[in-house]
Amino acid sequence: MIDSLFHAIDLVFSWPAILWLAVGMLFGIFVGALPGVGPNLGMAVVLPLTVPLDGITAIILLISIYSGAMYGGSIAAILINTPGNAAAAATTFDGYPMTRLGQARKALAVSATASALGGMLTIVTIILLSPLLIEFVLMFGSPEYFLIAMFGLVLITVVTRGSMVKGITAGAFGLLLTSVGIPVMTFEQRYTFGILELQDGISFVVALIGVFAIGEMMRLAAEQGGIVKEDVELSGSIASGFWEVIKNPISTIRSAFIGLGIGAVPGSGASVSNFISYGEAVRSDSDDTYGEGNPKGVIASEAANNGTVAGSLIPTLSFGIPGSGATAILLGGLLMHGIRPSPELFGAELHITYATFIALIVGNVFIFLFGLLIVTRTGHWFTRINTDYIIPLVICLAVTGSFAIRNNWLDLAFVVAFGVLGYYMVKHNYSIIAFVLGIVLGPIAEENLYRTIELGGFPVFLERPLSILLLALTVLVLVGPLIKNQLEARRNAA
Amino acid sequence: MRGVSNIRNDSGAITRRQALSIAGSGVAVGLAGCMGDSDDEDEAEEFPSDTIRTLIAFGEGGGTDIYARQIWGQVSEQRDVSVQFDNVPGAGGMTGASEFAASDSGGHTIAPFNAPGDIIPALIQDVDFDFEEFRGVAAHAEEEFVIVGNPDEEIGDFDEMVDRYADGEFDAFGGMQPGTQFNIIATILRDNADYDVQWENYIPYDGSGEVGQAVASGEIPNGIVTVSTAEDMSEQVDVVTGLVDHELSAFPDVPSLTDLGYPDLGYLGGMVRATYAPPETPDEHIEWLEDAAEEAIESDDLQGWADEGGLHLEFMGGSEFVEDLTSESIGNIRDEIDLDEFRN
């Protein structure tokens, strides 16, 4: 193990691997920050260009793009309320209000620090636990995946502000939309109306781009000047952002590990983990300023999405099961370079796996330095640019990116429709986060519930310790506040 | 007119006779082209006259995508031709297949598909093209399918597995989504009395790796996976039987269904990766593509790549082989399976 580790360090720091790592990080941050582009498209574009590189260097390049994009997504989320990718969608909830209050610099510093720490912490953890990772993957099955999705859906009750009826309606509407297309469980066409382009359902990434990017641009169109409110002074220092993360170690660690765990669940990835982590932060904190510019909201989302990178590598490298679109492309990169994902990557070929992990650690240091030294010093300028210039640029990127995800012409219509929907949802106080949780978690919940029922129904949830734990947590989140209210009412009455 | 005006006599001016002669020869060439005259040979020699577009009906990074990029990337290098790769994913490959069927049949568009896996959805759905009309180019790899079991269950062989389903000890059986090749095999194993695998619940997963993981974790006792998955997870699952009619390349000691005296599943027991051209692509262009693919597949570069990654890559056959395979697969599926069962 130690030999493999040193061998890996040698590989990562050799020339030109270290150069490609830096190139990958920069490119990843760039594509991650562009609304609608994100890691999948960035990696897909680069994949065929890696042919002349040796296998390990190619993987270092691809993984660096993936990791860089996870962080890059937060830049646009914070500055213009438009997440560069789905993994940073929850960053908008507090990151953007911070920008509106003139604290963009601080928010960007929080994001860079939390991303880097979350990423490094989870990578170090999986290096230490590498002999046990195969067993870790095998602990998860359909009942556990369903319960994780249910936990996320139950969080709708926690994150909804204002009318609970509106929150549940938004969540249910998101769930309802996931019923379009051919489900994994049957060959039944649901609401496809004979249109081939609807068979794969409505892309939640397109929905996210619509409600966040297009919806926000519609809202900004009604305002004059830049994104920052006219009467607000730019404040918030880089140092205060850094210390905000250091002062909240529990938030960072908890979020990073939520990301790690969810990343290991196939089919979910960072687009789920950032929401669940954010929801959990809101649930477990008595601070009720979430959604109004609370830095802990940014920590929750950003530490989780970079933590997800490490988690998603576990099933990808061990069994060739991609946890997300980005890891599917990474898997292709491995095969293209003659590296076959298997448990051998945690055995005889451990140096390849470690090289990937070491590259991520170095990459997170890069994110930290680049984020604090470059992005925080330049990014806030963006918030002073007149929105007349920003709006057409973002709309072009969002629409082009939506189409490029699956080359599906219907997505052009969907991104606009979701933009209008998002605009009116915000205007009438329907929870966007509840809607997003519904549309992202719906398919995971549905297909795993189906399998669990086929495997024996409810008793299956009680067969394994992990599923019992997840069930208990879900019930606790659902009924906990009710019990707490009852107890407080009795105490007050007494 | 521009072409004519550029041609001048020694003095720099064009005569009326020369202009008429050039125009006349242009008309003659044009007519000959319309009549499909003997200039086809020249055309064949010139092929490819444009970029070859490889339309991949699946996303980037999948097996189909990687093999196609390696083979046709190598063709590009060896033959010094331009090859472009376009991924058109969606609807289980049907969106890309539909676009491919309607694309230019001049030989400049090709597409990789897996037979019979990718053909089945087209047979189940009401699509506006017919895989049987596609021209074959070359087949480059076979992916064998196997049944794997959870090691804790200590399933000796396929016969014992059948008995344990019959006894009610096992009821769940895993594979990929309904309407896929895995699901159809599972249905045949249950409904055909010769096999009589009496599973009660078919548990569908997103991919072969997920099925393997479910078997390894004990969520299901058995399932169908690709031999690559079984190789990758050889420490976590037991291979019960091979579903092809020949010895498994990776597990030579594991008896196949036919070794045990069961009927052959034919092409359904595995999947052949092949390249196709649109209907009516001319024979001489198919020949060029076939030769180029064979040369690339057998090149040291690609064989080295396949060896390094433990992948199977060989030139299994050209156009005729692929077209026969496609027709036979479609015939087998139509004969053996009630496709209405999978339709709405």
pLDDT for B88? 87
Question: Residue B21's pLDDT band (boundaries 50, 70, 90)?
Answer: very low
* DSSP letter, residue A14: S
Based on the fold, state whether residues B129 and B174 are members of the same structural domain: no
Q: What is the pTM of this model?
A: 0.80
Q: Which of A3-12, B34-43, B207-216 has the lowest mean pLDDT?
A: B34-43
CA–CA dist A121, A302 (Å, integer)? 13
| Higher pLDDT, residue B21 or A423 | A423
A39 and B CB contact within 8 Å: no
A65 and B CB contact within 8 Å: no
Closest of B39, B9, B41, B3 to residue B22, by C-alpha: B3
pLDDT for B136? 96
pLDDT in tens, A211-263: 888 888 888 887 776 665 555 555 678 889 999 999 999 999 999 999 998 88
Cβ under 8 Å to B: A residues 303-322: 315, 319-322
Q: What is the mean pLDDT of chain A?
A: 86
Question: What is the gyration radius of the CA atoms in chain A, in angstroms?
Answer: 22
pLDDT in tens, B98-115: 999 998 878 899 999 998
| Residue B237 scores a pLDDT above 50 | yes
| Residue B17 scores a pLDDT above 50 | no
Beta bridge partners of B225: B146
pLDDT in tens, B252-304: 999 999 999 999 887 789 999 999 999 999 999 999 999 999 999 999 999 99
Give me the CATH number covering residue B91.
Answer: 3.40.190.150
**Is residue A405 a contact partner of residue A205, using CB atoms and an 8 Å limit?**
yes
Residue that is last in its domain, among B231, B247, B268: B268
A5 and B CB contact within 8 Å: no
Contact B90 A331 (CB under 8 A): no
When pLDDT is averaged across residues A143-166 and rounded to a whole number, the result is 84
Closest of A78, A42, A80 to residue A62, by C-alpha: A42
Based on the fold, state whether residues B285 and B209 are members of the same structural domain: no
Sequence length of chain B is 344
Based on the fold, state whether residues B118 and B150 are members of the same structural domain: no
pLDDT for B35? 41
Residue that is last in its domain, among B221, B245, B268: B268
User: How many independent structural domains does chain B possess?
Assistant: 2
Q: Looking at chain A, which residue has its C-alpha nearest residue B306? A: A338
Identify the domain containing residue B162 by its residue range.
144-268
pLDDT for B26? 40
pLDDT in tens, A406-424: 788 899 999 999 999 999 9
Cβ under 8 Å to B: A residues 228-287: 266-267
Based on the fold, state whether residues B196 and B295 are members of the same structural domain: no
Contact B308 A338 (CB under 8 A): yes
When pLDDT is averaged across residues B236-242 and rounded to a whole number, the result is 93
Question: Shortest Cα distance from A202 to chain B (angstroms)?
Answer: 12
Phi (first) and psi of residue A154, to 5 degrees: -65, -30
| Residue B155 scores a pLDDT above 90 | yes
pLDDT in tens, A258-315: 999 888 876 667 778 888 899 889 888 888 888 888 999 999 999 998 999 888 888 8
pLDDT in tens, A444-455: 899 899 999 999
| Residue B39 scores a pLDDT above 50 | no
pLDDT for A401? 81
Based on the fold, state whether residues B254 and B281 are members of the same structural domain: no
CA–CA dist A441, A422 (Å, integer)? 18
pLDDT for A266? 67
Based on the fold, state whether residues B156 and B261 are members of the same structural domain: yes
B60 and A CB contact within 8 Å: yes
Based on the fold, state whether residues B248 and B151 are members of the same structural domain: yes
Helix (H, G, I), strand (E, B) or coil at B268: helix
Based on the fold, state whether residues B304 and B212 are members of the same structural domain: no
CA–CA dist A339, A355 (Å, integer)? 13
pLDDT for B33? 40
CA–CA dist A276, A300 (Å, integer)? 9
Question: Shortest Cα distance from B325 to chain A (angstroms)?
Answer: 25
Question: Shortest Cα distance from B170 to chain A (angstroms)?
Answer: 11
When pLDDT is averaged across residues A391-397 and rounded to a whole number, the result is 86
Q: Which of B219, B235, B313, B343 to mutate to test the interface with A (most CBs of A within 10 A)?
A: B219
Closest in A137, A196, A267 to B91, CB measured: A196
**Is residue A36 a contact partner of residue A400, using CB atoms and an 8 Å limit?**
yes
Task: Specify if B37 maps to a domain.
Answer: no
**Is residue A266 a contact partner of residue A320, using CB atoms and an 8 Å limit?**
no
Question: Residue B311's pLDDT band (boundaries 50, 70, 90)?
Answer: confident
Based on the fold, state whether residues B317 and B297 are members of the same structural domain: yes
Helix (H, G, I), strand (E, B) or coil at B174: strand
Question: Shortest Cα distance from B297 to chain A (angstroms)?
Answer: 15
CA distances from B174 to A382, B12, B147, B192 (A): 52, 80, 9, 18
**CA dihedral sign of residues A53, A57, A61, A62:** positive
pLDDT for A246? 94
When pLDDT is averaged across residues A472-493 and rounded to a whole number, the result is 84
Residue that is last in its domain, among B268, B300, B323: B268
ipTM of the complex as predicted: 0.79
Give me the CATH number covering residue B179.
Answer: 3.40.190.10
Question: Residue B30's pLDDT band (boundaries 50, 70, 90)?
Answer: very low
Based on the fold, state whether residues B176 and B257 are members of the same structural domain: yes
Closest in B204, B216, B308 to A185, CB measured: B204
Based on the fold, state whether residues B219 and B327 are members of the same structural domain: no
| Higher pLDDT, residue B70 or A485 | B70
Task: Specify if B31 maps to a domain.
Answer: no
Taking residue B307's Cβ as centre, other Cβ atoms within 10 Å add up to: 11
CA dihedral B329, B331, B333, B335 (to 10 degrees): -150
Task: Specify if B253 maps to a domain.
Answer: yes
